[in-house]
């Protein structure tokens, strides 16, 4: 399975948000899209999800163009977007249920994913009073329970405090190593990108500025000279003027 | 007059030594809760007695609670009270449900089909401004003096506020919730039933709460014109035969009946949106 992005352009009004973007993502690959806010990275993700349509160019999965949202592309939102009227377990079983599984099957699956994110004791809670990190865990479990081939994550840890953020990053890595889905992860945190990604696609004002392969062993450490090198390089690239 | 809800009575918290304050919201004792009621009726009785001696106003027009209770008992024995309460409750339930279902259905259609909105919207705007009580005589001429005009009028009073709030709710469903559902594989029917409708329910309930008062006045007024049972009928009947006491009985019945409906509404609300929290009560622990 591959995700192909070819000559993708998208504008809103007279502002071009994406200009002729092309890249490919391979199966089981973890790709981070890194850039400032307003560089078009979220637009790219919305296009990949099928929420919006490109002005020109295509996004395709195994050659089939993305024209509408589909259960094969699960999405994790920055604001988690859990259904507030459903309990945690019902939120997670939503996907399996609407895909036609029986209530019981869906619940069994949901429990499995809930255990994966370590929240089984909160199964019957409503999402409202949960902490930001816990909500996002539920968000990830819900997306995974939909059995997607590709996981699209739009700054999922952007609203979390720095300590929770680090924990969540490790959790996500653990889950990814276990299930190995293809992940497209949008972030503006250079650290986060280096910790997580197989490949980092750096975006600048609607263009792919550069693509970095990250070959370090996981878990990666901030003190690692390779980490520091990459960090410096990315920082230089992102802060340099046009 | 309304039923004393829990926590409605509060006293200033006096800090005492060794007071463990663990989520024990101030619970008024039972006697504390009914004391205001007792006081109200005692005061009323005292004033009427005084009036009996001093005649500020004609004592016949201003009966006290004891005299009213006697009349209520007499009226109860004729069977009229029970009959009227049942009749009014049934009318209210029928009219309110009709209005509620109608408003939600039309709201959904207007939200879904632009054509419906274009054609129905202006009509609603035009007719919505007419107070439903003004339409009652017309309804009676069209539909006779049976149950139909009463139920239609209650439904009409219920309809508009709920429609407005339903539309508002449908338009403001969080787009990311819909997107989430789509990416989990939900069909448009599933999205409507499992995402859009549940998101809108809090708004529908706000409308329903607002409608309750309007629907209730519609009930009483419609019973005052051409009815043989019902709380409104007791008032008119009492006026015709100059039974002031019975009028008071009816007024008390009205407030009791309204409390019943307000309580049913609260019950429904608590059941349907138990997931919701917020407001002052939950923002700080006392």
The complex's ipTM?
Answer: 0.92
Q: Percent of chain B scored above 90 by pLDDT?
A: 48
Q: Say if residues A88 and A122 touch (Cβ distance below 8 Å).
A: yes
Q: Say if residues A171 and A117 touch (Cβ distance below 8 Å).
A: yes
- Summarised one tens digit per residue, pLDDT across range B35-78 is 988 999 999 999 999 988 888 888 888 899 999 999 999 989 99
* Enclosing H/E stretch for A200: strand A199-204
Q: CB distance A69–B187 less than 8 Å?
A: no
Alpha carbons B53 and A184: distance in angstroms, whole number: 88
Q: Looking at domain B68-273, which of 1.10.3470.10, 1.10.3720.10, 3.40.50.10490, 3.40.50.2000 is its CATH number? A: 1.10.3720.10
For A77, the closest of B180, B186, B199 (CB atoms) is B180
Contacts of A86 in chain B (CB under 8 A): 275
Which pLDDT belongs to residue B212? 92
Domain boundaries, chain B: 30-62, 68-273
Q: Which of B120, B204, B202 is nearest to B164 (CA)?
A: B204
CA distance B241 to chain A (A): 55
The two beta strands, A15-25 and A3-12, are: antiparallel
Q: CB distance B176–A126 less than 8 Å?
A: no
Q: CB distance B184–A71 less than 8 Å?
A: yes
For residue B1, what pLDDT band results from cuts at 50, 70 and 90? Answer: very low
The phi, psi pair for A128, rounded to 5°, reads -40, -60
Q: CB distance A95–B184 less than 8 Å?
A: yes
CA distance A83 to chain B (A): 7
- Summarised one tens digit per residue, pLDDT across range A156-212 is 998 889 899 999 999 999 999 999 999 999 999 999 999 999 999 999 988 999 999
Q: What average pLDDT does range B92-108 have in this prediction? A: 95
Q: CB distance A77–B179 less than 8 Å?
A: yes
Q: Percent of chain B scored above 70 by pLDDT?
A: 87
Q: Say if residues A29 and A198 touch (Cβ distance below 8 Å).
A: yes
Mutate to test the interface with B, among A50, A83, A101, A103 (most CBs of B within 10 A): A83
User: Does A157 lie at the interface with B, CB-CB under 8 angstroms?
Assistant: no
Which pLDDT belongs to residue B2? 43
CA distance B276 to chain A (A): 8
- Summarised one tens digit per residue, pLDDT across range A75-128 is 999 999 999 999 999 999 999 999 999 999 999 999 999 999 999 999 999 998
Homologous superfamily of A74-148+161-181 in CATH?
Answer: P-loop containing nucleotide triphosphate hydrolases (3.40.50.300)
Pinpoint the residues of chain A covered by CATH 3.40.50.300: 74-148+161-181
Indicate if the pLDDT at residue B8 is higher than 80.
no
Q: CB distance A128–B277 less than 8 Å?
A: yes
Closest chain B residue by Cα to residue A84: B275
User: Does A75 lie at the interface with B, CB-CB under 8 angstroms?
Assistant: yes
User: Does A146 lie at the interface with B, CB-CB under 8 angstroms?
Assistant: yes
For residue B150, what pLDDT band results from cuts at 50, 70 and 90? Answer: very high
pTM across the whole model:
0.81
Which pLDDT belongs to residue B9? 44
- Summarised one tens digit per residue, pLDDT across range B233-261 is 998 988 888 888 999 999 999 999 999 99
CA distance A145 to chain B (A): 9
- Summarised one tens digit per residue, pLDDT across range A217-227 is 988 999 999 99
Residues 6+ apart with CB under 8 A from A153: A45, A75, A76, A183, A184, A185, A186
Structure tokens at B122: 């202006």
Q: What average pLDDT does range A64-71 have in this prediction? A: 94
Cβ neighbours, 10 Å, residue A100: 9
Q: Say if residues A139 and B184 touch (Cβ distance below 8 Å).
A: no
User: Does A106 lie at the interface with B, CB-CB under 8 angstroms?
Assistant: no
Q: CB distance A83–B180 less than 8 Å?
A: yes
Length of chain A: 242
Closest chain B residue by Cα to residue A82: B177
Q: Say if residues A104 and A85 touch (Cβ distance below 8 Å).
A: no
Contacts of B181 in chain A (CB under 8 A): 94, 98
Alpha carbons A220 and A238: distance in angstroms, whole number: 22
Helices (H), A30-147: 41-49, 88-98, 103-116, 132-145
Closest chain A residue by Cα to residue B190: A98
Q: CB distance A77–B187 less than 8 Å?
A: no
Q: CB distance A85–B190 less than 8 Å?
A: no
User: Does A12 lie at the interface with B, CB-CB under 8 angstroms?
Assistant: no
Q: CB distance B185–A75 less than 8 Å?
A: no
Contacts of A128 in chain B (CB under 8 A): 275-277
């Amino acid at each position: 399975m591959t995700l192909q992005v070819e000559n993708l352009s998208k504008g809103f009004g007279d502002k071009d948000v994406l200009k002729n973007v092309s890249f490919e993502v391979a199966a089981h690959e973890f790709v981070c899209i890194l850039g400032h806010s307003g560089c078009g990275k979220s637009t790219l993700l919305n296009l990949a999800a099928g929420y919006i349509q490109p002005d020109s160019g295509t996004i395709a999965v195994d050659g089939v163009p993305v024209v509408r949202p589909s259960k094969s592309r699960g999405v994790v939102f920055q604001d988690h977007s859990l259904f507030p009227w459903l309990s945690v377990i019902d939120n997670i079983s939503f996907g399996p249920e609407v895909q036609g599984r029986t209530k019981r099957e869906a619940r069994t699956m949901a429990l499995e994913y809930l255990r994966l994110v370590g929240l089984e004791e909160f199964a019957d809670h409503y999402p409202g009073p949960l902490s930001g990190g816990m909500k996002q865990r539920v968000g990830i479990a819900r997306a995974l329970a939909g059995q997607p081939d590709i996981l699209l994550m739009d700054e999922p840890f952007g609203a979390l405090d720095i300590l929770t953020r680090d924990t969540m990053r490790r959790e996500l890595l653990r889950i990814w190593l276990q299930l190995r889905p293809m992940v497209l992860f949008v972030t503006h945190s250079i650290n986060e990108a280096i910790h997580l990604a197989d490949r980092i696609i750096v975006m600048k004002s609607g263009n792919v500025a550069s693509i970095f392969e990250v070959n370090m062993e996981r878990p990666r450490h901030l003190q690692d000279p390779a980490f520091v090198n990459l960090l410096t390089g990315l920082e230089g690239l992102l802060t340099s003027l046009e | 007059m309304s039923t004393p809800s829990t926590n409605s009575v509060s006293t200033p918290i006096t800090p005492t030594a060794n007071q463990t304050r663990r989520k024990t919201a101030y619970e008024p004792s039972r006697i504390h809760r009914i004391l205001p009621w007792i006081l109200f009726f005692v005061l009323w009785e005292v004033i009427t007695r005084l009036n009996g001696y001093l005649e500020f106003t004609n004592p016949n027009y201003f009966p006290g609670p004891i005299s009213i209770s006697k009349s209520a008992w007499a009226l109860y024995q004729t069977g009229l009270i029970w009959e009227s309460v049942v009749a009014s409750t049934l009318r209210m339930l029928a009219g309110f449900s009709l209005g509620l279902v109608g408003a939600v259905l039309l709201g959904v259609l207007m939200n879904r089909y632009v054509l419906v909105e274009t054609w129905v919207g202006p009509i609603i705007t035009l007719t919505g401004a007419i107070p439903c009580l003004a339409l009652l005589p017309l309804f009676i001429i069209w539909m006779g003096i049976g149950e139909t005009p009463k139920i239609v009028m209650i439904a009409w009073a219920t309809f508009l506020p709920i429609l407005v709030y339903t539309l508002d709710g449908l338009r403001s469903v969080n787009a990311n919730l819909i997107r989430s559902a789509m990416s989990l594989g939900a069909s448009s029917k599933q999205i409507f039933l499992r995402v859009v409708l549940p998101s809108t329910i809090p708004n529908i309930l706000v409308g329903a709460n607002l409608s309750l008062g309007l629907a209730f006045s519609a009930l009483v007024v419609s019973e005052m014109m051409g009815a043989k049972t019902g709380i409104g009928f007791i008032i008119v009947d009492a006026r015709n035969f100059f039974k002031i006491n019975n009028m008071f009985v009816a007024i008390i019945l009205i407030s009791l009946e309204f409390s019943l409906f307000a309580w049913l509404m609260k019950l429904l609300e608590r059941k349907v949106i138990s997931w919701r929290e917020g407001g002052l009560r939950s923002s700080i622990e006392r």
